[in-house]
Amino acid sequence: MVRILVTGASGFAGRYLVEYLRNKPEVEIHGTVYGGAAPEGMTPHPCDLRDPAAVDALVAAVRPSQIYHLASASNVQSSPDRAWDTIENNTFTLLRLLRACSGMKSPPRILAVTTGEFYETRDQGCLDETAPVNPTNPYAVSKMVQEMLAIQYALSGLPVIRARPFNHGGAGQASGFVLTDFAAQIARIAAGMQPPLVEVSGNLDAERDFTHVRDVVRAYALLMEKGQPGEAYNIASGVTWRIRTILERMCELAGVRVSIAYNASRQRLLDRKCGDSSRLRALTEWKPEIPVERMLSEVLDDWHVRVRAENVSV
């Protein structure tokens, strides 16, 4: 029996990961929950991962053979306003976990989920794991610290693998991300709850690499099985979408025509990030299976349901 601990199990990607793992044979899944309902198919553990005593007790109780560390303050957009909270949360949750596991007789394999957000932008080509980094927000800084901690503990013998996912989405994602912010406004426009004007706070001409969350958690599981401790692995499609195109396509899917209001002060001449996941593909034969358009449709459908619920409760 494989005993698995998923931190952040009640979060967006955590729920998808638990759903994926529970279909595997001979697994016993445990997950930390903090301010959210627990997904089905696992034993929930309410836990503040910033508390060293709580983390020590959790690891001692579960005795995991695998840990997927997804718990994170993950909103890039709000991180400048919550800089210390973001850095403290993301740094100390991983540090507490690594310290607890380093004292175990048979330490678990640990997948530390960081990000592709901290790479520099590049006007062409894709970014592999050796690309220069340029963390431009507190979230990216916190993930760089996580990387350094994971390397340190891997060098001391703890089997830590680093996963660097690029942008991913799907139904159930919270607001505050580009796809959900577009979808929420479009769904309200379609329901007649908002004038046909979409407010955009970021760069519509930016290009990002999107992957469905189900493909991302499948990559996590493959890395847990086959990843080399101490190594980092990008999880990305290798294809970029202009944010303006994403917005236009979502409007087409919803059957609405809109005007756009955006903050021109946030526009940058170069804002493109494309991930090269050749290392992951060579190791596991992973590749994205779900088209971006299906992801957009699922995000929109999810927000149509949420908006209808809002309308009923008013």
DSSP per-residue codes, 95-141: HHHHHHHHTSSSPPEEEEE--STTBPP-SSS-B-TTS-B---SHHHH
Q: What per-residue confidence (pLDDT) applies to 314? A: 47
Read off φ and ψ for residue 212, nearest 5 degrees.
-65, 140
Q: How far is CA 129 from CA 72, 116, 139, 302, in A?
A: 21, 9, 19, 33
Domain 2-169+210-235 in CATH 3.40.50.720: yes
The runs of H, that is alpha helices, within 209-272 are: 213-226, 243-254
Average pLDDT over residues 276-304: 98
Query: Are residues 205 and 271 in contact, defined by beta-carbon separation less than 8 angstroms?
Result: yes
3-state secondary structure of 23: coil
Identify which has the larger pLDDT, 312 or 10.
10
> CB under 8 Å to 188, separation ≥6 — which residues?
194, 307
Token readout for 175 is: 């607001």
How far apart CA 10 and CA 17 sit, in angstroms, is: 10
Q: What is the pLDDT of residues 116-152, one digit of tens each?
A: 999 999 888 999 999 999 999 999 999 999 999 999 9
Q: What is the pLDDT of residues 49-73, one digit of tens each?
A: 999 999 999 999 999 999 999 999 9
Indicate the range of 73-82, 150-159, 305-314 predicted with least confidence.
305-314
Q: What per-residue confidence (pLDDT) applies to 77? A: 84
Greatest extent of the chain over all pairs of C-alpha atoms, in Å: 61
What are the residue ranges of CATH 3.90.25.10 in the chain?
178-207+240-273+291-313
Query: Are residues 101 and 107 in contact, defined by beta-carbon separation less than 8 angstroms?
Result: yes
3-state secondary structure of 179: helix
DSSP 275: B
User: What pTM was computed for the model?
Assistant: 0.96
| Top-tier CATH class for 178-207+240-273+291-313 | alpha beta
